Amino acid sequence: MQEMVRLEDLIEELAELEDLREPWKIKHKQGDVIAICLFATLARCDDVKDVYYWAVASEEVLRNYLELPNGIPGYDTIRRVLALVEPGILDGMLQKWNELMASGETGKLRKILAIDGKTQRGNATSKQTPNHIVSAVDEHGVCYGQELVQEKSNEITAIPKLLSRLNVRGFVVTIDAMGCQTEIVEKIVRKKGDYCIGLKGNQASLHEDVKLYFGDQSLLSACSYTSKIEKARGGIEKREYWQTTDVSWLPQGSDWASLRSIGMTRNTITRAGKTTVEERFFISSLGDDVELFAKSVRGHWVVESFHWHLDVTFREDSCQIVDKRAAFNLNILRKFAIAILKNVDTGKRDSMKTKRFKVMLNPMKMLDMLLSL
């Protein structure tokens, strides 16, 4: 049985990382700098200057966990280290943490892995476009990996790179219509995962055929069906799901690996006396299981909540760090902080924002709790 890795062990691994700085210029250990950035991110610090000021104020506390041979590194040192560290290293630490947290899970429930992109708007300047990062997030709001979209490219090229690093076996991978590409579907299937992918105009013929199918009332009534009604943002939302494995008629069916079903959702929202209806269409490798189809469609939107945390709880778009690698590394550290905070039990039903506030107010108590996870 593989020995479990604790967060404290991962922090210690930072000391072993290759340091790309010129040796005679090094006053502060690279591992200490990265650990400070992670601790500060947990403690409600949202940009590099916040990290520096918090570290100076918390130096006595930090010395319980880090060596700090020459005290707290300056703002420029922190920024320079973030710009030099290979993002794959931090990504690897995040994956080890996820494996640790998942090691106690039992059962064979199908898990959802939603893939979607987000732009770091604070990274934009008059001379460069901002980072756009594609992330894979499970239904619990934990990030399993990310890929930076390269300049003059898009999510279609980044998603296969991300999938190459992910273990999607046993997951249902959900992607919006941007990722509805035969190569992406084939890669998911080859890696023993299932898929549920949205359809829109980028696959115009397939989209139109599926839309016409569900527009036929006699065919629609023969489909598997489920629905749910709940209050939503001051209104009433009815979500309906139809699924069928009748796909042999699709002219393009053979182009899509393991295509077993198609589906439709209809969201009817009534708010302030006004009703709006939205229909969306999907292709999937799922068998005849409309409840799993509904869970997959609904589960995809957890990535929106995840991006909301990055924007609102961690104020990512307000962090105006120009260097692209530094900005990407901070993005990974924020995701690491989200994963850690989700596993912290403060004894109350604290929001993530409140947990960060508690780390800031009492870093010794909270860091001791975090490092014992």
pLDDT in tens, 304-328: 889 999 999 999 999 989 999 999 9
Indicate the pLDDT class of residue 1, thresholds 50, 70 and 90: very low
Cα 333 to Cα 22: distance, rounded to the nearest angstrom: 25
Instruction: Please say whether the beta carbons of 120 and 316 come within 8 A.
Output: yes
Instruction: Please say whether the beta carbons of 326 and 51 come within 8 A.
Output: no
Cα 137 to Cα 309: distance, rounded to the nearest angstrom: 13
Helix (H) or strand (E) holding 88: helix 87-102
Is residue 32 packed enough to be buried (19+ CB in 10 Å), middle (13-18) or exposed (0-12)?
buried
**C-alpha angle with apex 176: 126 to 227, nearest 5 degrees?**
140
Q: Could you give the C-alpha distances from 174 to 147, 286, 301, 305, in angstroms and in order?
A: 16, 12, 10, 15
Each residue's pLDDT tens digit, 158-174:
999 999 999 999 999 99
Cα 307 to Cα 313: distance, rounded to the nearest angstrom: 10
Instruction: Please say whether the beta carbons of 75 and 83 come within 8 A.
Output: no
Token pair for residue 290? Answer: 């409309």
**C-alpha angle with apex 178: 192 to 160, nearest 5 degrees?**
40
Per-residue H/E/C for 133-170: EEEEEECCCCEEEEEECCCCCCHHHHHHHHHHHCCCCC
3-state secondary structure of 366: helix
Q: Cβ contacts of residue 89 below 8 Å, gap of 6+?
A: 17
Each residue's pLDDT tens digit, 45-70:
999 999 999 999 999 999 988 889 99
* Helix, strand, coil content of the chain in percent (nearest 5): 50, 20, 30
- Please give the model's pTM, rounded to 2 decimal places: 0.89
Cα 205 to Cα 209: distance, rounded to the nearest angstrom: 6
Q: Is the dihedral of CA 296, 298, 304, 305 positive or negative?
A: negative
Instruction: Please say whether the beta carbons of 103 and 163 come within 8 A.
Output: no
Average pLDDT, the chain: 90
pLDDT at residue number 255 = 95
CA gyration radius for the chain? 23
- For the chain, domain boundaries: 7-85+343-371, 95-308
Report the share of the chain in percent with pLDDT over 70: 94
Q: What mean pLDDT is predicted for residues 225-237?
A: 86
Q: What mean pLDDT is predicted for residues 135-151?
A: 91
